[in-house]
Amino acid sequence: MLLEIKDLHASINGKEILKGLNLKVNRGEVHAIMGPNGTGKSTLASIIAGRDIYDISKGEIYYKDKELLDMAIEDRAREGIFIGFQYPVEIPGVSMTNFMRTAVNEIRQYRGEEPLSAAEFLAMMEDRKKLLELHSKLTNRSVNEGFSGGEKKRNEIFQMAMLNPELAILDETDSGLDIDALRVVANGVNKLRRPDNATVVITHYQRLLDYIVPDFVHILYEGKIVKTGPKELALELEEKGYDWVKNEIAK
């Protein structure tokens, strides 16, 4: 198993957000997490990434059979965890090239591999851009600085392609994308799929799941996964809305 979350309880500023969340992700799988605003989807991604602003009162997370909560943020990344953020941060003055080269080489160093030379690195960037059919010059600019909402999301996928993660969690990467960009991003994600990696997409829209076809759809509601089903669950949810879920739980 790649990721296993058991009975996770997490709060921030005394307010409990995750209230006993369970989730299992195997290699080769695609999972979709859906759920109303403010139910803790981004919180979950943040905790997996290693943000230390949460108080985790209960529960465990295993990643590749190791205790994830004990690992440093960068080590989680080096072990293959990638978060496509809902709101990617702007870093003025740090060039995309410099940023990615540092990241790629630190990960290589962690794995005991030689750093890439400038030329090798640039070739890799070109290759990844081609794979994703990105023709933009975003890589010549500072990280996310002045990027439009959609450009930021595309940049997240580009970084994912550069870092080649084992577990990618994409938090609303589809929101803010135009129809063409959505297809580009989804194709990118599909091209990066391998039997040994897994993707978790957090989304509000069934539309994305036409492109990235999930093996499982989870509904996260008030801090818990309340329902899990096949990809058709997303369609049902879109049709019936969250009230339906509420009623289901009440039953």
Ligand X SMILES: Nc1ncnc2c1ncn2[C@@H]1O[C@H](COP(=O)(O)OP(=O)(O)OP(=O)(O)O)[C@@H](O)[C@H]1O
Contact residues for other proteins (CB under 8 A)? 49-51, 72-74, 76-78, 82-83, 85, 88-89, 91-95, 97-107, 109-110, 115, 118, 142-143, 159, 163
**Residue 22: closest CA among 41, 2, 8:** 8
Query: Which of residues 46, 86, 173, 203 is near Mg ion by CB under 5 A?
Result: 86
| Interacting positions 2-31 with ligand X (CB under 6 A) | 12-13, 15, 17
**In the numeric block, which tokens belong to residue 167?**
């577990």
Alpha carbons 127 and 123: distance in angstroms, whole number = 6
Which segment (79-87, 96-104, 180-188, 222-230) binds Mg ion by CB under 5 A?
Answer: 79-87
Minimum gap (Å) between residue 69 Cβ and other proteins: 15
**Residue 58: closest CA among 4, 2, 16, 13:** 16
Q: Is 42 in the site for Mg ion (CB under 5 A)?
A: yes
**In the numeric block, which tokens belong to residue 131?**
């794979």
Amino acid at 104: V
Pairing of strands 224-229, 167-171: unpaired
Q: DSSP secondary structure string, 75-98? A: HHHHTTEEEE-SSPPPEEEEEHHH
For Mg ion, the closer of residues 5 and 162 by Cβ is 5
Minimum gap (Å) between residue 49 Cβ and other proteins: 5
Query: Which of residues 8, 34, 41, 188 is near ligand X by CB under 6 A?
Result: 41
Q: Which does 95 bind (CB under 5 to 8 A by kind): Mg ion, other proteins, ligand X, none?
A: other proteins
Minimum gap (Å) between residue 21 Cβ and ligand X: 11
**In the numeric block, which tokens belong to residue 187?**
């194709």
Q: Is 39 in the site for ligand X (CB under 6 A)?
A: yes
Amino acid at 173: T
Q: In the bound complex, which residue of the shown chain has the CB atom lying closest to Mg ion?
A: 42
Q: Is 39 in the site for Mg ion (CB under 5 A)?
A: no
**In the numeric block, which tokens belong to residue 188?**
């990118």
